[in-house]
Structure 1
Amino acid sequence: MSKTDYLPSGFIQPLQDYVRECPSPSTALLDEMGLCLAVPSVSAERFCELLDAAWAQAPASALGIRLGLATQPGHFGVVGYMVSYCGTLGQALARYYRYQRLLQQSLVSRAELKDGVLHMRWNQAVAKTPLATEFSLAAFINLCQALIGRAVTPVRAGLPFAKPADASVYPALLGCPVDFDCAAIELAIPEHLLALPISSKDPYLLRLLEQQAQGLLQQLPEGEESRAGSAFQRVQEQILESMKNGDVSAVAVASALGYSLRTFYRELRAAGYSYRGLLAHTRHTLARQYLADPALAQTDVALLLGYSEQSSFIRAFRSWTGMTPGEYRSHLTPGAHGMPGKQR
């Protein structure tokens, strides 16, 4: 089994939760999982080993399915956050397929619409144990359910291993017929689900995260995506750089990019943005990330975002979310790897 493939470490969270709830949980295993969660990614081989270790702690039928159904969009890393800000499930799946190599570099998938049904199939060259394939299938179904806020009843599902003795558990958990000995992980869902809206959609945040995903994809070896950064990406990167200097005015950012202020505004308008809106959304996105870090005081967060006064940050944050930074922090669950609810 190759050691070159990696998965988002957030996928370990359901495993750790499962082990923690066992009658006699292994402290060493929990600590090991905690170390893996402290970094952005984990090798696919290690993930499979941790799945096996979780099963050894408390064997259960279709455990990979059960654990996959406990995932949250945030466990999928930047891809999970990005698809959460799309407008419909169809748009989300289109981006999911485009950036799937950020989830597993060796992931190979195909999708086809036929007779009102979306047929999907994918292979995992590294994370291909029965438990890992179960987890992958169930996590994908649960992602779709989380995005549209309702249960997804597949037409059918398939798994690439021999039919187990307890095969009746699988359709009971997934709500559809499940075939075994398939050539790949398979899933079919009704086409009409693709038009369902995603309540957490946000075009600005989607653009921010898609740029981040594009940058990450370009860093992968042998990647097919290699286009030059757009004007949007240059502005975003300069805003982040200017925050370090404490001056995120349009004049400062335009000057750093080599534009006159008038040309800068004209370029943004042509791309469908306003500087004020872009800056606010960038700050909002970063503020929520920073506030989730208990090591950062509110004054630190304000400075990191380029505010000279904490009061200005508090007023801005209240305008974005309807609550103060302190109130927002009080709503966060310590140690959670999922996304906080979208604040209005």
Structure 2
Amino acid sequence: MHKTDFLPATFVEPLLEYLQARQIDDRALETELQQVLQSSHVCARQFCDLLERLHRHDPVSALGVRLGRAAQPRHFGVVGYMLSSCSTLGQALPRYQRYHALLQQGLHSRAWLGQGVLHMRWSQAVANTPLALEFSLAVFVSLYQSLIGRAQAPLHAGLPFARPADSDVYQVLLGCPVQFGCAEIELNLPAHLLAMPIASKDPYLLKLLEQQAQALLSQQPEHMDADSEAFFVRVQEQVVESMKNGDASAEAVAAALGYSLRSFYRQLQQAGYSYRSVLAQTRHTLARQYLRDPNLTQSDAALLLGYAEQSSFIRAFRSWTGITPGEYRQRHLQQRGGSSPAQAS
């Protein structure tokens, strides 16, 4: 079981907006929420604590559900953008299952179809307080409804904690019967929703985002304690984000994660990595995927990997593989026997 876990820091945004909208006077809490939003992830235990502190100020029923219903796909980071690029909900949900470890390592889920119903069940190893569990249920409901562009209610929802005195509020907020005392979080959806189109579909962007998500998953270490593993995943994700911004230096990544450079290096060393190796490994994995994409030029690949100069990309790629990017692309083309890729430029 994970002793430590992390969630996207963007999930804190609904908390901050709620605190400000309700005019709750707690400057320390507001400052902490704002500080969390400056980083890419928030510790699951810290997130649970933030929910509890907000609830003490405003002890309304089903606060976690209320907060979760304000979530949008963008709060799910690269996974949310990838799902928004899918053509249908049926195309999006299997990808959510495949890549949810990028959102929360300690989340375990399963789904199956039966008699016209999509059954979903999941549990959270660390973010498992009642407020966090109901937030998790509500953000997923908000996610699928945002993707299809309509407030289609679930058929059934279930939560793994005792029935509260004001349980009727949950049914009102979620739009369906809610069962309590379940073994896991439960959600049942009409199977016909899987055919619902997603208006923001973008097949090319979907392919690109899925390549990045797959690269992050494939690099997750097999033998590492939970704390180090969570830190390693956060570093990987921030490296990809920093490459898009054109500055993938250790200083930029450390600052984005809220670490001093010395502390950042020490954490990496404890996990058995150096920053140079993490950056090179991530770039190498993504480079090969980008070069196999006929819609991307060699210059596009270099820019996506954070290289200001294409010559730097060529030198780095040759050091990884012994050949140039152009030679790698040509070999891949010959192996596939397909059409010509985009011309290098």
Asked if TM exceeds 0.5, the reply is yes
Letter in 2 for 1:233: Y
Letter in 2 for 1:232: Q
Matched, 1:275 2:339: no
SS in 2 for 1:164: coil
Q: CA deviation at 1:53?
A: 1.2
Structure 2 distance, partners of 1:189, 1:272, is: 42
Q: CA deviation at 1:220?
A: 2.9
**In 2 relative to 1, CA 272–44 (structure 1 residues): closer, same or farther, beyond 3 Å?**
farther
Structure 2 distance, partners of 1:45, 1:174, is: 25
Letter in 2 for 1:158: G
Residue of structure 2 in register with 1:179 after alignment: 179
Q: CA deviation at 1:57?
A: 2.1
Letter in 2 for 1:213: A
Q: Do 2:120 and 2:188's aligned partners in 1 also have CA atoms closer than 8 Å? A: yes
Residue of structure 1 in register with 2:234 after alignment: none
Residue of structure 1 in register with 2:111 after alignment: 111
Letter in 2 for 1:275: A
Q: CA deviation at 1:240?
A: 2.9
Q: Do 1:22 and 1:57's aligned partners in 2 also have CA atoms closer than 8 Å? A: no
SS in 1 for 2:28: helix
Matched, 1:203 2:203: yes
Letter in 2 for 1:245: E
Gaps of 5+ in 1: 280-305, 307-344
Question: Percent identity of the aligned residues?
Answer: 52
Residue of structure 2 in register with 1:240 after alignment: 304
Gaps of 5+ in 2: 224-283, 293-299
Alignment of 1:1-344 (within 5 A): 3-222=3-222, 229=285, 231-234=288-291, 237-241=301-305, 243-245=307-309, 256-259=324-327, 263=330, 266=333, 275=342
**In 2 relative to 1, CA 116–135 (structure 1 residues): closer, same or farther, beyond 3 Å?**
same
SS in 1 for 2:210: helix
TM-score normalised by structure 1 residue count? 0.71
Residue of structure 2 in register with 1:288 after alignment: none
**In 2 relative to 1, CA 232–18 (structure 1 residues): closer, same or farther, beyond 3 Å?**
same
Aligned length: 271
Deviations 1:66-122 (A, max 9, x none): 000000101111111111101110110010000011111011111110000000000
Deviations 1:199-225 (A, max 9, x none): 1111111111111111222333339xx
TM-score normalised by structure 2 residue count? 0.71
Q: CA deviation at 1:62?
A: 0.3
**In 2 relative to 1, CA 268–172 (structure 1 residues): closer, same or farther, beyond 3 Å?**
farther
Q: CA deviation at 1:266?
A: 4.4
Structure 1 distance, partners of 2:67, 2:99, is: 23
Letter in 1 for 2:139: A
Deviations 1:237-269 (A, max 9, x none): 445358511679x9xx998414298x3794699
Name the Cα RMSD after superposition.
Answer: 3.1
Structure 2 distance, partners of 1:192, 1:103, is: 27
Q: Do 1:156 and 1:188's aligned partners in 2 also have CA atoms closer than 8 Å? A: yes
SS in 1 for 2:327: coil
**In 2 relative to 1, CA 247–222 (structure 1 residues): closer, same or farther, beyond 3 Å?**
closer
Stretch deviating more after TM superposition (119-128 or 26-35): 26-35
Deviations 1:294-339 (A, max 9, x none): xxxxxxxxxxxx9xxxxxxxxxxxxxxxxxxxxxxxxxxxxxxxxx
Structure 2 distance, partners of 1:47, 1:245, is: 40
SS in 2 for 1:99: helix
**In 2 relative to 1, CA 189–260 (structure 1 residues): closer, same or farther, beyond 3 Å?**
closer
SS in 2 for 1:135: helix
